């Protein structure tokens, strides 16, 4: 049995982009033993995947934003767990040299590969290509690994007679910073919510506790509030109650895609080609020579966020109804 160790930190969407690698490893190596090193804040989420044999967690906030002694303490804790590990391959999911420092002594004892996504190429396919050592169109055939789906909390009621559309107006919080350039203007979400209600749909607003600031904007809208009220364990089964989820490029957009429900992604500075598999999306680059501007680390110096503002609520409503009509 081959043993594979994967290190992938970062935002939730970044981790989800790498998950199809598990399916690839299982197909190529049979009953492989997979260890995944990720952030402790995603402990519940990573526990949903039975094909991961062992999860090792680190506090990435302390590693990247803590004081020097907090960083050192977290690194030493990880080294104690992995220094004497023996495996067939270590896959480093981040090209930044600091991630190799995290693995330290384990890289001296084992073979390893560093994923270096190429701008313009799909990241999921690039992770798989790094593992396999070759590139062809068949790499896009790998799907997300199977999930252990939990029941929805009975207090979160969804009527079987209603059709629900989820909106994610917040998010875009990365490991090192917040990236508001990825957000679609919240006033557009409000207009879209009102239009969908007129069409007979129920609105669900999703997000974590950091997104509670968005709720004030919807004070005149009838909606189900799930912002900060669900865990990662509950999020996937909740997503499956939705007829459609609409979101800009943030973690819950990728959770919805993982949940295999209809998704409409709104993209401006980031490219759907790089971060999604099989997702409907809207971009507005035809009239803007500057997009997409995100290079994997930095955004262009932009004060107006024109690429996201140019996506109109009317256009999103039209695309949404088209997707919903295909379902009903």
Which residue, among 228, 221, 265, 270, has the nearest Cα to 245 in the 3D structure?
A: 265
Q: What is the mean pLDDT of residues 309-321?
A: 93
Contacts of 140 (CB under 8 A, 6+ apart): 122, 125, 277
Assigned token pair, 48: 């949903």
Q: 187 and 127: one domain?
A: no
Percent of the chain at pLDDT > 70 equals 91
Residue 226 predicted with pLDDT over 80: yes
User: How many CB atoms are closer than 10 A to CB 62?
Assistant: 18
Give residue 175's pLDDT: 54
Number of structural domains, the chain? Answer: 2
Q: 137 and 198: one domain?
A: no
Q: Domain for residue 246, yes or no? A: yes
Q: What is the mean pLDDT of residues 295-303?
A: 73
Instruction: Tell me the chain's radius of gyration from C-alpha atoms.
Output: 20
Report how far residue 5's alpha carbon sits from residue 199's, in angstroms, rounded to the nearest whole number: 49
| Alpha-carbon dihedral 154, 156, 157, 163, rounded to 10 degrees | -140
Of 141, 176, 211, the domain-final residue: 141
Instruction: Give the pLDDT band (50/70/90) at residue 86.
Output: very high
Give residue 153's pLDDT: 66
Mapping DSSP to helix (H, G, I), strand (E, B) and coil, where does residue 65 land?
helix
Q: 280 and 183: one domain?
A: yes
What residue numbers bound the domain in which 290 lies?
164-327
Give residue 152's pLDDT: 65
**Whether the predicted model's global pTM rises above the 0.85 cut:** yes
Q: 77 and 121: one domain?
A: yes
pLDDT per position as a tens digit, 176-201: 566 788 889 999 999 999 999 999 99
């Amino acid at each position: 049995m081959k043993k594979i160790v994967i290190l992938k930190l970062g935002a939730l969407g970044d981790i989800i982009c790498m998950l199809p690698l598990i399916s690839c490893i299982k197909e190529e190596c049979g009953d492989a033993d997979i260890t995944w090193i990720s952030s402790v804040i995603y402990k519940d989420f990573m526990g949903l995947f039975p094909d991961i044999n062992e999860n090792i967690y680190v506090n990435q906030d302390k590693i990247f934003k803590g004081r020097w002694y907090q960083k050192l303490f977290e690194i030493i804790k990880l080294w104690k767990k992995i220094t004497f590990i023996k495996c067939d391959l270590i896959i480093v999911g981040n090209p930044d040299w600091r991630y190799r420092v995290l693995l330290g002594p384990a890289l001296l004892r084992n073979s390893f590969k560093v994923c270096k996504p190429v701008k313009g190429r799909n990241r999921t396919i690039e992770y798989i290509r790094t593992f396999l050592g070759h590139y062809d169109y068949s790499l896009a055939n790998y799907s997300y690994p199977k999930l252990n789906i939990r029941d929805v909390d009975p207090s979160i009621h969804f009527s079987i007679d209603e059709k629900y559309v989820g909106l994610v107006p917040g998010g875009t919080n990365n490991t090192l910073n917040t990236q508001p350039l990825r957000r679609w203007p919240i006033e557009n979400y409000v207009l879209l919510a009102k239009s969908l209600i007129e069409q007979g749909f129920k609105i669900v607003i999703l997000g974590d506790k950091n997104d509670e600031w968005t709720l004030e904007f919807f004070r005149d809208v009838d909606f189900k509030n799930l912002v900060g009220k669900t865990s990662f364990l509950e999020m996937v089964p909740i997503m499956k109650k939705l007829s459609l989820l609409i979101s800009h490029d943030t973690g819950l957009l990728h959770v919805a895609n993982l949940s295999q429900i209809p998704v409409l992604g709104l993209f401006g500075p980031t490219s759907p080609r790089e971060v999604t598999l099989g997702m409907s999306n809207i971009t507005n680059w035809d009239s803007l020579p500057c997009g997409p501007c995100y290079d994997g680390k930095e955004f262009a110096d932009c004060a107006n966020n024109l690429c996201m503002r140019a996506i109109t609520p009317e256009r999103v409503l039209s695309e949404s109804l088209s997707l919903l009509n295909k379902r009903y």
